[in-house]
């Protein structure tokens, strides 16, 4: 079985609720579309769990991207830098303080392992299930960056575009694919069914607001399109 979820945002109880429901087996694959960290306190703990699971594959999210840009290898950066450091300020403003605080209290060797893992994460992945080709992205497909001068002038790097640009229904989806994306909470696509999976003929949004107190984590099984929601 093939499962996809996104935007856990450090919420361990909701993540454990999903993992209990799907009962992931060694022959299964779980894809996580980024944003494991920030807002809730257990993002690094969840990342370390993912790192140990050979059948879990993860994309880079904008929150992991912010974490790397904000502190790099300087894990002991102090709060007095906050006011004058643009990258650190951006990260803290988006819920990074709780992640940074956790990083300061674990061994340097563990921090180095976590950052090495994050630095090698892909931006997009292609998956085929039951003859259907899926483009898995955090924010947007990299093909859009390659074909539009607007995007290449707006963002300084391909990675920045892929994790930050919020896809919407006016934007293209790579031909021949159904795109599955996180990053933009589904409440922005459907006010009548907030915090539920959203879809149209070519795209599926799966960020159901796990990073918010009233949201939830969702997981989609691609084999039969069964949807799971956190129950805690």
Number of residues written out for the chain: 232
Q: Kindly report the CATH number that applies to the domain delimited by 2-229.
A: 3.60.21.10
Q: Residue written as tokens 């607007």? A: 150
Q: What pLDDT score was predicted for residue 73?
A: 67
Tokens coding 79: 């709060």
pLDDT tens for the 232 residues of the chain, in order: 999 999 999 999 999 999 999 999 999 999 999 999 999 999 999 999 999 999 999 999 999 999 999 987 665 555 445 545 888 889 999 999 999 999 989 998 999 999 999 999 999 999 999 999 999 999 999 999 988 767 777 898 999 999 999 999 999 999 999 999 999 999 999 988 889 999 999 999 999 999 999 999 999 999 999 999 999 7
- Where in the chain are the domains? 2-229
DSSP codes of every residue in 10-78? T-HHHHHHHHHHHT--TT-EEEE-S--SSSSTTHHHHHHHHHT-TTEEE---HHHHHHHHHHTT-TT--
How high is the pLDDT of residue 146? 82
What are φ and ψ of residue 92, in 5° steps?
-60, -40
Q: Among all chains, which residue has been given the structure tokens 């691609």? A: 222
pTM of the model: 0.95
**Cβ(167)–Cβ(203) below 8 Å:** yes
């Amino acid at each position: 079985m093939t499962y996809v979820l996104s935007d856990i945002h450090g919420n361990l109880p909701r993540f454990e609720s999903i993992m209990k429901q799907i009962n992931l087996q060694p022959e299964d694959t779980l894809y996580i579309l980024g944003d494991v960290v920030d807002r809730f306190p257990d993002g690094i703990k969840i990342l370390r769990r993912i790192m140990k699971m050979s059948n879990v594959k993860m994309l880079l999210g904008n929150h992991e991207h912010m974490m790397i840009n904000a502190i790099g290898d300087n894990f002991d950066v102090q709060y007095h830098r906050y006011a004058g450091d643009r990258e650190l300020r951006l990260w803290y403003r988006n819920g990074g303080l709780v992640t940074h605080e956790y990083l300061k209290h674990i061994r340097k060797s563990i921090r180095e392992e976590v950052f090495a893992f994050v630095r090698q994460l892909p931006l997009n992945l292609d998956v085929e299930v039951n003859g259907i080709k899926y483009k898995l992205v955090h924010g947007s497909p990299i093909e859009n960056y390659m074909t539009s001068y607007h995007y290449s002038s707006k963002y300084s790097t391909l990675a920045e575009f892929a994790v930050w640009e919020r896809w919407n229904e006016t934007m293209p989806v790579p031909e021949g694919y159904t795109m599955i994306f996180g990053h933009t909470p589904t409440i922005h696509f459907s006010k009548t069914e907030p915090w539920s999976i959203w879809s149209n003929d070519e795209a599926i949004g799966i960020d159901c607001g796990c990073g918010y107190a009233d949201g939830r984590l969702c997981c989609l099984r691609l084999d039969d399109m069964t949807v799971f929601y956190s129950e805690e």
